[in-house]
Amino acid sequence: MSSVNQLRNNVERWLIHENYKFSNKKNDDATFCTVIKHVGSFGTPIEIFEPKNQLGVLVLGGKVFFKNNQTLRYNKLNDAEREKFHNSVKDYCNSIYAINKIFKEDGKVVIGVYVVLDKVERFTQQIVIDTMAKVNELSEKVNRFVFKTF
């Protein structure tokens, strides 16, 4: 069995063992992408994937969806205002040790909040489950930051 399949199988087995419901999502940039719809007390959707250009790296990410009024406000920003907003989100994410990406999905603005695990030989069920909880917490912090500042 290839290491790609082994990593995916391990992640899926761990999620099943922890009673998480998940599905697989097509992602052209990843060897696999597993989505858990609601994690933790905040109900954050979390994706777990292995980037094609970084085999052996596991990325866990939460999505912070803008509310309709926030999306409307964001869409009205000019380039300079948008860059200022992106920089403030980036600075905040850096301060809480998270990687972020702002993008649009289904007409909504989304902030992806990511944690990268890069020691595949040391991945365990507990590390992945703990990282899911961390991503959930970081996503909620980013959500509160955006709510207060935007």
Please state which CATH number belongs to domain 3-149: 3.30.1460.10
More confident position, 120 or 29: 29
pLDDT at res. 40: 75
- Determine the length of the chain: 150
Confidence label for 99 from pLDDT (cuts 50, 70 and 90): very high
pLDDT at res. 3: 57
What residue ranges do the domains of the chain occupy?
3-149
Mean pLDDT of 92-98: 97
- pLDDT, tens only, 49-75: 999 999 889 999 999 999 999 999 999
More confident position, 122 or 106: 106
Q: What are phi and psi of 98, to 5 degrees?
A: -125, 150
Cβ contact 101:88 at 8 Å: no
pLDDT at res. 107: 87
- pLDDT, tens only, 107-127: 899 999 999 998 766 789 999
